[in-house]
Every structure is written in structure tokens, then in C-alpha cells.
């Protein structure tokens, strides 16, 4: 009798929205019976009505047909329940990926382009699913929309209590990013993404929304490679059909962490942003990038994977057509270039990546060499074309300061009071006293408030010096666009090469290096940069707590080194090369922050692969070895386990990839 009752409670009923009494079928919250609701049409109104009447565990079906979603405000459809939202079925490729679907939703904006098609807010400890729908563009301009066609959001800063499944969707040249995700874990599989523009399939953000926490909480969590605490992107196809350079199939911000495995990718790479170009927000937290098949069909492709913050496991990827493909590692706080000038607020070196500033050997956010400054000097001459400083005498030896950071010592910063503003294009900003900047030079105004039309918010503005008491600023139709992200005058850069009397500087990521004869400088060494590749926090690390303007680490940077590891990647049969701001004395250093595969692996440097029996008995702390004959995590192919040398001649199991296929996958999809 008990078994019969249980079976009855778990039964499934199908209801169509055309039934005049369909609302009566709404499932009581305490019932275990699940229902399927088919919307009356595929319009946003009818789909939203079906969602409203569904309960947790139910399925809402969007009927077959082509449906234009237009004139939406923030989003066309909102899902706040743990339901399945699906179309009427798809044609599947030989790899079981969606290639055409019976339910087609066309993104058809009118005047407003800043809206999502679907916003999903996940439910704690429950799973929401999207399946079997094709999305097309019908009028959106290239790159229009900033929220992604679909957003998956955590309800609060629970970090991972919610789960999702996204499968068998076909993004047929939509002109938005396909997905933006915020603070959620789950799996995307058997989806197809095809683009002719610059949009990407997926952006992973560790925050529940862009305005919450800045990524501090996800950054303070342990990395936990090999766990389910990642967003999994597996067995998908992502293609850029009209490329001029490699696009990003996946990007990450705000402590986002992702796993990409067994995907087929055309003209794209995988990566994340760092704690640099997104203002207060932190960079991506962690990456697992393995056993993907990447193909390029245009000349000049070379970047296979890019890491701009945090640790990463990059292995077993097969690249074709990428030439001398590389693993690109950048700590872009080393190359983003704030101006040294300020007006009204006499502050320097906090204007880009605010409040993080530049990795110049003086930043409180980094681990700097105790010898700072390692050297000082005076510019005799500067060649801007080759970025070469010449000094008098022969104070250096060849290569002595390669990879160090040269920081121009700013002169005294004199606060200048703004007396009047003439709105125009450019806007003229008059000051009460001569400021001493060079005519034509680009300077920076910080903390400026202009109460005129158009309104300027308090902020930081790039301006051009007109004369001794006038600045100008270009005016756009919106105040936000007038708040420039980067100043044009760099004040520091990494040293690319050293001779007896010259220092050749690396090209800054943004801006122009300018030195005059008589300028003074110092040479510093950065041991570890905040959130740079190969660095991570732990559960015991200091958490900034979401403060808009964090002041400092109480006892200095307490992050730990968790390297980027590379092994078994091949580009046209060859090993990947290492590129970016990497070198013996750079902020990112080989065999400290990154370990690359060594074919004749001895355990001294780099990483190696082979059977467990072939692993060297001796090892240097930090190196890694992938034992190809170990493990049982892959039910569809070969396994392997990664061991790390945790102390001299001591190997420790460090990484077991998460079960593949992902245990939450549900391949019960309707095929046309």
C-alpha cells in the first residue's frame, strides 16, 4: 500500500495552456506530483503565464514555431522557480548537439536593446533546467545588449547552493553574449553556439550580481580543483564563422570559476579577466581547461588559452591551425597605466583598476621585494619609439634588471582648483592657478564634480592640457562615457632588457610612456601580485568583505601560490609555448607561478606525463606529474591523476578531475 501511494505521488500529469481551467492544475507546494504545462503560444506573455502556474519540479514547454520576442524591458521572461523550461525538440548532430530546433525564439528588439531574453534566478539546493530551444537574431545590432541573452543568477551570496542544467540549445548567430552567469554552479552540455560577431557563449561571474560583493567572497574560498564547485561547460560546439583573431569562448570575472572539457571550438580560446580592467571587481578565480579540440582557419591564430588571474589546470587540449600556439599569462596590473597626475585630490597611482593601482613594487596589495627600491636613476635621454631610457655612465650589467619594474618618481602633486567650466565639445575646464603640466599632455582629474548640462558625475576624467590654466575634456551624450577608464600617461612598466647604460621597457597595455631628461626613477621587484596567475586565496585568507574602497591588508598580502599547470597540450603536434608577462624576474615566473610540460621530465622543473611507474623518484617542490594509468573518473574514455611534488622528493596526489560525464546531465531530450 505504501509503495502504491508513493508511485501515485510521483506521477506526472500533462496540462496544456489552452484548457480554460488550466490554472486549477497548479501543483500544491507540498505535493510530489509533477506536471507539464504547454504555453498557449511562444510569446513572452504566454510563456510567463505558464511559468507562473508551474511549481517546483514542473516542466513548461514552449510550443513549436518561430516566436519574436520584442519590446521587452529588463527581460522578456523571468524564471524564479526550480522548473524545466524547454522547447518542442531539436535535431541532434552525431555528437548529440542541437543543430536545429522546432521552437525558435528570435531576438527582435525595437528601440530598446538593453534587455535579456530570459532571466533565471536559481533556487537554493534545487535545480533549474533549460533545454531544446533555438535562438536567432532578428534586428539586434552587432554587440547590442549588455546582459547576455540569458542570465543565470544566484538568489543571494550563497555561492554554489543553487544548480542548473542547460542542454541542447542552439544559438544561431545571436548578437548578444549567449549566457552571463552570476554566482552559480551547474553544467552546460550538448549546446551549439555559432557567431559572426564578437559575442561569446559564456561569461562566468562569481558574484550573484555585478553590484554585490565585487568577488571578494568567491575569491576567499578554497580552489577545490576536481570538485563540483565550478560551472561546467562540456561537450558543446562553439564556432566563430568570420574571425580576424581568436575570440573568447569563455571569460570570467568577479571570482568566477569554470571547467571547459570535451568541447569542439572554432577560432576561439578560453580565458578570464584579472583584477585590473574591471574597476573594483576581482578577476576570475580558477580554471580547468582540458581535452578540448580547438581549430583555427585563419592566419595568425596563436593564443590557445589565456589566464589573467588565479590558478589553472590546462591540459590535454588538441589544437589545429594555431601555429606556434601559446599559453598566455598576463598580470595586467603590471601593464595597465594610470597617470601620475591628479587635480583637486593629490593622490597618485590609484586611478586604473581603482583601488588596486599599478603593480610597481610600491603597492600595498602586492608582495614586494624587501629591497625596494633595488636601484634609482636619472634619465639622460628617452627614445619613445623603442621605449629606451639611457642613463649616464655604465651602472648596470647585461640583463641585471630584466623583468623588474621601473617606476617614474612623480614630482610634487599640486592641488588645482577648478574655477569655471564651459560646456562644449571639448568642454573647457579653467583653473585658478597655473598647474605646470605640458601643453598637449594628457592629465587626469580626480574627484571632479561638474553640475552642468550634460551632467558629469563625481569621478575621474581623462583631460588634455590646453594651456597653463586650462584643461579640455571631450563630451559625449552620456555622462558615463565621459568617465574614461584609462589615462594616457603611464608611470611604470616592466623592464624588457638591460644593458650597461640602457633600460628597454615593455610596451604598456594602455597608454604612452613619456620620460624627459632629468626625470628620476626607481627599479623595483614584485615577488607576487594580487590575484595574478598562480596566486590564490584560501578560506583563512583576508576577505575585503565587499567594501567599495578597501583600505589595505591588515598584515600584508596573505595569498598563497597555486600555480598554473600545463601538460599534454598539442598544437599541430607540438608543445604549447609560454607567452605574456612571464620571465625569471617578472611578476609571473616559470617554475613558481607556472609549470610547463617538459618532454624529458626529470622532476627538476616543469611537468611530466606517463605511467605512474615512470614517474621520477626525485622531485623539486612545485613540479607536477600526470599519471596516465591512474584514476577512474572518466566513464567515457581515458583517465589520469595529477601528482604534485609537495616537498623535496615527496609526491602527493593533488588533482582528480571531476566525474565525466557530469553526474547531473539529463540526456532525455526530444529529438525531431
Sign of CA dihedral 545, 116, 199, 351: negative
Whether the per-residue pLDDT at 392 is higher than 90: the answer is yes
> Where is 46: in which H helix or E strand?
helix 44-53
The set of residues, in sequence order, having a beta carbon less than 8 Å from that of 93 and lying 6+ positions away, is 99, 192, 237
Whether the per-residue pLDDT at 373 is higher than 80: the answer is yes
The set of residues, in sequence order, having a beta carbon less than 8 Å from that of 494 and lying 6+ positions away, is 334, 335, 403, 404, 405, 406, 505, 506, 581, 586, 587
| SS3 call for 516 | coil
When pLDDT is averaged across residues 171-191 and rounded to a whole number, the result is 93
pLDDT confidence tier of residue 317, bands split at 50, 70 and 90: very high
pLDDT confidence tier of residue 176, bands split at 50, 70 and 90: confident
Whether the per-residue pLDDT at 106 is higher than 70: the answer is yes
Whether the per-residue pLDDT at 196 is higher than 80: the answer is yes
Cell numbers 570538485 label which residue? 227
Quote the mean pLDDT of the chain.
81
User: Comparing C-alpha atoms, which of 202, 173, 205 is closest to residue 270?
Assistant: 202
Whether the per-residue pLDDT at 551 is higher than 60: the answer is yes
Share of the chain above pLDDT 90, in %: 53
pLDDT at 114: 77
Whether the per-residue pLDDT at 20 is higher than 60: the answer is no
Whether the per-residue pLDDT at 623 is higher than 70: the answer is yes
> Where is 44: in which H helix or E strand?
helix 44-53
Contact (CB, 8 A) for 323 and 575 = no
When pLDDT is averaged across residues 511-526 and rounded to a whole number, the result is 81
B/e letters for 541-568, b = 16+ CB within 10 Å, e = fewer, are: bbbbebeeebeebeeebebeebbbbbbb
Give the model confidence (pLDDT) of 467-503 as tens digits: 666 666 554 333 332 222 223 345 678 899 999 999 9
Give the model confidence (pLDDT) of 563-613 as tens digits: 999 999 999 999 999 988 788 878 899 999 999 999 999 999 999 999 999
Per the model's pLDDT, the better-predicted residue between 508 and 672 turns out to be 508
Measured distance CA(122)–CA(105) in Å, rounded: 22
Whether the per-residue pLDDT at 435 is higher than 70: the answer is no
Cell numbers 591588508 label which residue? 553
Measured distance CA(542)–CA(557) in Å, rounded: 8
Whether the per-residue pLDDT at 243 is higher than 60: the answer is yes
Which triple of cell numbers denotes residue 604?
A: 627538476
Contact (CB, 8 A) for 242 and 194 = no
> Where is 612: in which H helix or E strand?
none
DSSP 530-569: TT-BTEE--TTS---TT-SS----BTB---EE--EEEES-
Whether the per-residue pLDDT at 627 is higher than 80: the answer is yes
Per the model's pLDDT, the better-predicted residue between 377 and 109 turns out to be 377
Cell numbers 599569462 label which residue? 329
User: Comparing C-alpha atoms, which of 536, 505, 502 is closest to residue 384?
Assistant: 505
Measured distance CA(348)–CA(74) in Å, rounded: 39
When pLDDT is averaged across residues 69-79 and rounded to a whole number, the result is 91
pLDDT at 413: 42
User: Comparing C-alpha atoms, which of 634, 568, 649 is closest to residue 226?
Assistant: 634
Measured distance CA(268)–CA(245) in Å, rounded: 8
Which triple of cell numbers denotes residue 342?
A: 591628479
Q: φ, ψ for residue 342 (rounded to 5)?
A: -145, 155
Measured distance CA(360)–CA(493) in Å, rounded: 8
Contact (CB, 8 A) for 265 and 243 = no
Which triple of cell numbers denotes residue 105?
A: 525564439
Per the model's pLDDT, the better-predicted residue between 12 and 325 turns out to be 325
Whether the per-residue pLDDT at 150 is higher than 80: the answer is yes
List the end-to-end C-alpha distance of the chain, in Å, as a whole number.
40
Candidate ranges 52-66, 442-456, 541-555; pick with highest mean pLDDT: 52-66
When pLDDT is averaged across residues 624-633 and rounded to a whole number, the result is 98
What pTM was estimated for this model as a whole? 0.85
The set of residues, in sequence order, having a beta carbon less than 8 Å from that of 421 and lying 6+ positions away, is 427, 428, 429, 430, 450, 452
Whether the per-residue pLDDT at 156 is higher than 80: the answer is no
When pLDDT is averaged across residues 31-60 and rounded to a whole number, the result is 93
Amino acid at each position: 500500500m505504501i509503495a502504491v501511494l508513493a508511485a501515485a505521488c510521483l506521477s506526472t500529469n500533462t496540462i496544456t495552456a489552452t484548457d480554460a481551467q488550466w490554472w486549477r492544475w497548479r501543483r500544491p507546494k507540498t505535493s510530489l506530483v509533477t506536471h507539464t504545462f504547454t504555453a498557449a503560444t511562444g510569446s513572452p506573455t504566454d510563456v510567463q503565464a505558464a511559468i507562473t502556474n508551474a511549481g517546483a519540479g514542473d516542466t513548461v514547454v514552449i510550443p513549436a514555431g518561430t516566436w519574436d520576442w520584442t519590446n521587452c524591458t529588463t527581460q522578456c521572461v523571468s524564471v524564479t522557480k526550480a522548473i524545466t523550461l524547454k522547447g518542442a525538440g531539436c535535431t541532434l548532430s552525431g555528437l548529440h548537439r542541437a543543430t536545429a530546433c522546432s521552437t525558435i525564439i528570435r531576438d527582435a528588439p525595437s528601440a530598446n536593446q538593453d534587455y535579456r531574453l530570459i532571466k533565471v534566478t536559481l533556487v537554493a539546493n534545487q535545480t533549474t533546467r533549460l533545454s531544446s530551444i533555438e535562438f536567432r537574431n532578428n534586428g539586434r545590432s552587432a554587440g547590442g545588449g549588455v546582459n547576455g541573452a540569458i542570465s543565470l543568477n544566484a538568489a543571494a551570496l550563497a555561492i554554489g547552493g543553487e544548480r542548473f542544467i542547460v542542454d541542447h540549445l542552439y544559438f544561431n548567430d545571436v548578437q548578444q553574449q549567449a549566457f552571463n552567469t552570476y554566482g552559480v554552479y551547474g553544467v552546460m552540455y550538448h549546446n551549439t553556439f555559432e557567431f559572426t560577431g564578437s559575442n561569446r557563449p559564456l561569461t562566468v561571474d562569481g558574484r550573484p550580481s555585478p553590484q554585490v560583493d565585487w568577488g571578494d567572497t568567491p575569491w576567499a574560498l578554497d580552489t577545490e580543483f576536481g570538485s563540483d564547485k565550478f560551472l561546467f561547460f562540456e561537450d558543446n560546439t562553439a564556432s566563430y564563422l568570420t574571425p580576424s583573431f581568436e575570440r573568447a569562448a569563455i571569460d570570467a570575472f568577479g571570482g568566477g570559476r569554470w571547467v571547459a572539457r570535451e568541447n569542439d571550438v572554432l577560432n576561439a580560446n578560453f580565458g578570464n579577466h584579472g583584477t585590473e580592467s574591471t574597476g573594483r571587481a576581482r578577476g576570475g578565480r580558477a580554471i580547468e581547461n582540458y581535452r578540448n579540440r580547438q581549430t583555427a582557419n585563419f592566419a595568425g591564430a596563436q593564443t590557445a588559452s589565456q589566464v589573467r588571474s588565479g590558478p589553472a589546470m590546462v591540459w590535454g587540449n588538441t589544437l589545429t591551425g594555431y601555429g606556434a600556439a601559446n599559453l598566455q599569462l598576463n598580470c595586467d596590473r603590471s601593464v595597465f597605466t594610470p597617470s601620475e597626475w591628479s587635480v583637486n585630490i593629490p593622490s597618485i597611482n590609484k586611478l586604473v583598476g581603482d583601488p588596486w593601482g599599478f603593480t610597481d613594487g610600491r603597492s600595498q596589495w602586492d608582495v614586494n621585494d624587501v629591497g625596494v627600491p633595488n636601484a634609482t636613476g636619472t634619465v639622460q635621454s628617452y627614445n619613445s619609439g623603442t621605449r629606451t631610457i639611457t642613463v649616464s655612465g655604465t651602472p648596470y650589467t647585461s640583463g641585471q634588471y630584466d623583468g623588474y619594474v621601473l617606476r617614474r618618481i612623480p614630482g610634487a602633486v599640486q592641488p588645482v582648483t577648478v574655477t569655471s567650466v564651459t560646456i562644449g565639445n571639448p568642454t573647457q575646464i579653467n583653473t585658478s592657478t597655473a598647474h605646470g603640466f605640458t601643453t598637449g599632455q594628457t592629465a587626469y582629474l580626480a574627484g571632479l564634480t561638474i553640475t552642468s548640462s550634460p551632467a558629469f558625475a563625481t569621478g575621474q576624467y581623462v583631460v588634455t592640457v590646453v594651456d597653463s590654466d586650462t584643461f579640455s575634456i571631450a563630451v559625449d551624450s552620456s555622462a558615463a562615457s565621459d568617465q574614461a577608464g584609462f589615462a594616457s600617461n603611464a608611470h611604470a612598466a616592466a623592464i624588457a632588457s638591460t644593458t650597461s647604460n640602457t633600460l628597454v621597457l615593455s610596451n604598456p597595455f594602455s597608454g604612452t610612456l613619456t620620460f624627459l631628461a632629468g626625470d628620476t626613477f626607481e627599479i623595483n621587484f614584485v615577488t607576487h601580485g594580487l590575484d595574478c596567475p598562480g596566486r590564490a586565496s584560501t578560506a583563512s585568507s583576508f576577505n575585503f568583505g565587499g567594501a567599495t574602497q578597501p583600505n589595505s591588508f591588515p598584515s600584508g598580502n596573505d595569498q598563497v601560490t597555486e600555480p598554473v599547470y600545463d601538460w599534454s597540450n598539442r598544437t599541430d603536434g607540438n608543445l604549447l609555448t609560454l607567452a605574456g608577462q612571464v620571465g625569471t624576474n617578472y611578476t609571473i615566473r616559470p617554475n613558481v607561478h607556472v609549470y610547463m610540460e617538459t618532454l624529458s621530465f626529470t622532476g627538476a622543473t616543469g611537468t611530466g606525463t606517463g605511467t605512474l611507474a615512470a614517474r621520477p623518484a626525485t622531485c623539486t617542490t612545485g613540479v607536477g606529474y600526470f599519471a596516465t594509468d591512474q584514476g577512474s573518473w572518466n566513464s567515457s574514455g581515458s583517465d589520469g591523476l595529477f601528482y604534485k611534488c609537495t616537498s623535496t622528493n615527496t609526491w602527493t596526489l593533488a588533482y582528480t578531475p571531476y566525474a565525466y560525464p557530469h553526474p547531473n546531465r539529463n540526456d532525455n531530450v526530444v529529438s525531431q
